[in-house]
């Protein structure tokens, strides 16, 4: 069911754990909690050895090492594991025999192949322990099942399954940031449930990026992909499709998202630049997870050098934790870009330590001291980051 990710007993266990971690006698946060390495020093000046702003040096037995080299080692380990599991899956003869039936059931998408990829991602210690919610990274190893997984041709096949109501067009707000304008406001729509027409999507691309929000709920092959990640992470998931014509100098200006994002390129290419999060205290009245949206503005100048500057090609995957600013363009793209954004909704569903802490304190009749909406943004960046850490992968499977 759609609620298969929700385990009350697991959440109860998490509340008990958090109530022990965040003692009521401590006004804000236990000093024993270690901030995430990447979020340890928001807005720190540029350091030597090509370490970007907002990054913290780690220590090993042999001395200091840069965050970048550490992340590269973790990503290399993850790519090796993914490559091995995909080769093993392909080598199994029985897999070929029933693939035709599986593709027919999944609207042309293999549920098992996506489950293999996301399952390996979830069980990898490099991802679950060291990269999840901490570091953005790109998998340069092409994921075969992702190449051409959803193209403009597929939109033509499945557009009739998708209602206009959920679609949007990326646009800039006068004097503000980025927002999604309603697609239905730019085309003639008979009613809320009137369905998309592929040719109208192509016409609207001249105005900006077209977003098929929540497409994983309506389009069968995308639902298969969405469900594979849902089952692997055991967390609430959604899937959007973003379509951008080639030659756009700005398909999305710098902004942050409330979700952890897995972007999968399926057609064409798109350039991504990912930055370290600015300190929440720099703009106390702004939500750090929705910066650069609506009336809020965020410039590249205030963000400094990007942590990642890369072009995603078909089959490649980019992971970004929530709150990391990013911007995209298709200046050098040879054709229309199509990518899938799979969002992990931990913060939307209050699955982080801040919300668990508040729940635990309220149940004990204690004052949380962080009731006012933006008081928490006044915390030191290290404490803010630790407080908003998502609950660990697999916590919903905890047994009381």
At 314-365, the pLDDT tens digits run 999 999 999 999 999 999 999 999 999 999 999 999 999 988 888 888 888 8
CATH of 111-344, one of 2.40.50.60, 3.90.550.10, 2.60.120.650, 1.10.1740.10: 2.60.120.650
Q: What is the pLDDT of residue 192?
A: 54
Q: What is the pLDDT of residue 130?
A: 92
Per-residue pLDDT of 67-93, as tens digits, reads 456 888 999 999 999 988 887 765 554
Q: How far apart are CA 73 and CA 218, in angstroms?
A: 38
Radius of gyration of the chain (CA): 21
* Overall pTM surpassing 0.85 (yes/no): no
**E-strand stretches of 140-236:** 167-172, 178-182, 210-212
**Structural domain boundaries of the chain?**
111-344
Q: How far apart are CA 245 and CA 335, in angstroms?
A: 7
Beta bridge partners of 244: 337
Q: What is the pLDDT of residue 64?
A: 32
Please, what's the b/e burial string for 31-69 (b: 16 or more CB within 10 A of its CB; e: otherwise)? eeeebbbbbbbbbbeeeeeebbbbbbbeeeeeeeebbbe
Q: What is the pLDDT of residue 189?
A: 52
Q: What is the pLDDT of residue 181?
A: 76
Tokens of 342: 């799979």
Point out the residues of the chain with pLDDT beneath 50. 1-67, 93-94, 97, 399-400
Q: What is the pLDDT of residue 25?
A: 34
Under DSSP, the state recorded for 195 is B
Q: How far apart are CA 216 and CA 114, in angstroms?
A: 14
């Amino acid at each position: 069911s759609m609620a298969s990710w929700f385990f009350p007993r697991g959440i109860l266990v998490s509340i008990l754990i958090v109530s022990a971690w965040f003692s009521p006698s401590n006004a804000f946060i236990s000093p024993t909690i270690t901030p995430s390495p990447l979020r340890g020093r928001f807005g720190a000046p540029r350091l030597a050895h090509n370490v970007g702003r907002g990054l913290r040096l780690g220590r090993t037995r042999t001395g200091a090492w840069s965050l970048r080299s550490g992340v590269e080692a973790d990503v290399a380990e993850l790519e090796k594991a993914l490559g091995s599991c995909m080769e093993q899956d392909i080598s199994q003869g029985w897999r070929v025999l029933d693939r035709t039936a599986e593709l027919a059931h999944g609207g042309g998408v293999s549920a098992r192949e996506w489950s293999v990829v996301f399952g390996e991602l979830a069980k990898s210690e490099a991802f679950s322990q060291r990269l999840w919610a901490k570091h953005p990274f790109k998998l340069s190893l092409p994921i075969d099942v992702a190449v051409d997984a959803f193209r403009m041709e597929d939109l033509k096949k499945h557009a009739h399954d998708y209602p206009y109501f959920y679609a949007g067009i990326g646009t800039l707000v006068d004097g503000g940031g980025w927002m999604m304008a309603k697609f239905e406001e730019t085309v003639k729509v008979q009613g809320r449930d009137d369905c998309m027409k592929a040719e109208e999507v192509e016409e609207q691309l001249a105005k900006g990026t077209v977003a098929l929000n929540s497409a994983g709920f309506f389009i069968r092959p995308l639902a298969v992909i969405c469900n594979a990640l849902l089952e692997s992470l055991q967390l609430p998931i959604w899937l959007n499709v973003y379509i951008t014509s080639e030659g756009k100098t700005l398909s999305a200006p710098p902004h942050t998202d409330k979700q952890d994002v897995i972007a999968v390129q399926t057609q064409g290419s798109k350039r991504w630049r990912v930055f370290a999060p600015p300190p929440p205290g720099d703009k106390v009245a702004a939500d750090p997870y929705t910066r650069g949206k609506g009336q809020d503005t965020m410039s590249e100048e205030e963000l400094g050098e990007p942590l990642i500057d890369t072009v995603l090609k078909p089959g490649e995957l980019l992971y970004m934790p929530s709150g990391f600013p990013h911007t995209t363009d298709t200046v050098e793209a040879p054709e229309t870009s199509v990518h899938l954004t799979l969002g992990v909704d931990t913060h939307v569903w209050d699955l982080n330590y801040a919300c668990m802490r508040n729940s635990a304190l309220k149940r004990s009749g204690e004052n949380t001291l962080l009731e006012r909406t933006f008081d928490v943004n006044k915390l030191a960046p290290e404490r803010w980051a630790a407080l908003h850490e998502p609950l660990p992968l697999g916590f919903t499977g905890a047994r009381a």
